[in-house]
Every structure is written in structure tokens, then in C-alpha cells.
Amino acid sequence: MSQLSLAVDVAGLRLRNPVMNAAGVLGMSHSLLRRIYEGGVGAVVTKSLGPEPRHGHSNPTLVTVEGGALNAMGLPNPGAEYFIDTIRALNGDGIPVVASFFGASIADFRDVAVVLSEAGADALELNCSCPNVEEELSMLGADPGNTEKVTAAVKEAVDKPVLVKLSPNVTDIAEIAVAAERGGADAITAVNTLKGIAVDVDFRRPILTNVTGGLSGPALKPVALRCVWEIHKAVEIPVVGCGGISDWRDAVEYLLCGASAVEIGTAAMKEDLDVYGKVANGIERYLESNGFKEVKEIVGLAHEA
């Protein structure tokens, strides 16, 4: 009788379990990413890396709101070249690495992807969905044609699995996912944050310096789940679910809606790095108690109900 296994294969990215950290959360150093892996993830996801160092927006950049948090960090990062040694060190530790990246042009996306791929990243997550850095990502936005072009350019330049991370701030996310698939995407990550605002009633002005920010946390989950559901129905490639996962039940909901793996961000900031292991263990208990042997047996199962 075969034993239960949490291992999954997401478009060639082999993971010991279907749980990862979300890009932008605790993904800035070798030591911290190693701690995240030791905490129980199947792979680590880096901070989004660009062609040049970027300071991001000035403070305040983060505010707690009901049901989650709003952030307007503005993609601060040391640049892709700076991160090469970190990726190589993680490789040396035997830790699978998904490198998140962005650019201001098709050439930027392609060039950064090449740098990160040659550094040893096991997969690349193309960030075309940050809601508070319009100048970098306005070429993509909600445009299927540009999403397809950027994805195709990256796929022509690298031979690693490419996950395209999409925004929920669009009219038809399935259409964008299909465009990414046409461009050669190996998987879709759904979703990034929802655009929102918080106001200080005493000072009578927006709290964030950037005015708007991205909403993450439990309040995002119903929207993100809907996006995963729609994308799973529209494409043939795997989906990675992201948004508002706090415990194993949330993660299983994503799997049932069609996600092959999940990413967790805000919950790790509010709790601790143990959340990753707790979620993975919870998925394992769910599979065992319901007679399943592999994660893929429950992927998209809610569509068959």
C-alpha cells in the first residue's frame, strides 16, 4: 500500500510540499530564506528583484486594516546582480529557489530573468502585478497582449519554469491568464494584492505616503479564491494560489479550487515562520483523514462537485 506524499510538481518545479512563502515577505537574505525553508516550505520565493537597486517609497509604507494590511513598499530591492550570491548559497544548501522579478521594459524583464536563471534559480516568478509601482508595470497592467509579449520574451531567454503572477485588479483575470499561457507561461500565480486606501481621521489625509497600497491578508482570500477558480477553468497549466492564507483550511480551499500549490505572506508577518510547517502538516492530516495519498488528487476537486 502506497504511503501518503505531500510532494508536488508545479510545471517542473519539484517541491517536498505545496507550501511556499509569497514574494516580498521575508525574502531578502540567505539566512532568512533558509529559516523559512527550515520552517517547512517546499521552496522559497525571493523578494521581487529588478534590473537596478531600488529604495521604494518613503514611510509610512505599511498599515494594519480590518482583515489584513495595506502596503506600499514600492518594490525596494538590491537588484538582481546583488542577489546572485544569495541564490548560489541557497543552491548549496539544497533549497529550491523561486526568483521573483520585474522590469520597466520587455528588455528589462528578459535581462533580469537571464541573470537570475544563470545564478541558479530553480524557477522564476514574473511579477506583472504590483499595484503601487505604476511606472515599472504600466506596460502590463490589465493588458493581455503585453502580458503575452513579456512572457514570451522571458521564455525565449531562459529554460527554467516561469510562473506569471497576476493582479486581481482587472476586469477578467482568466483572459490575462490565457494570454500568459499563450506566451509560454509554465504556471500562473494568483494573486497579488488588491488596490486600497486607508485614511487617518485625525490628520484628515491618507496614511500611506503613496496614498494607495496593496491589500493582503484574510480580507483578500474570497477574491483570490475566485480568481484561482476562474483561472483553473481557463488554462491547462498549473495555478499557484496566493492571498489571505492563515491556516491549513485556507490552503485546502485553494487546492480544491484548482491550485497545485500555495504561497503565504501576511500570516507569516503576523505570527511566525512556524505557519508554513503548520499549514503543510494540516494538509497532510486532511489528505490522510479523507483517504487521499497525493496532493494532486484534491486539486480542482471542488469543480467536480
Annotated active-site residue in 130, 227, 242, 257:
130
130 belongs to the catalytic site: yes
Instruction: Tell me if the bond preceding 51 is cis, omega within 30° of 0.
Output: no
In angstroms, the Cα distances linking 89 to 78, 93, 94, 97, 213 are: 17, 6, 9, 10, 33
Query: Is residue 201 exposed (0-12), middle (13-18) or buried (19+ Cβ within 10 Å)?
Result: exposed
> What's the rounded Cα separation, in Å, for the pair 49 and 192?
16
Query: Hey, which residues are catalytic here?
Result: 130
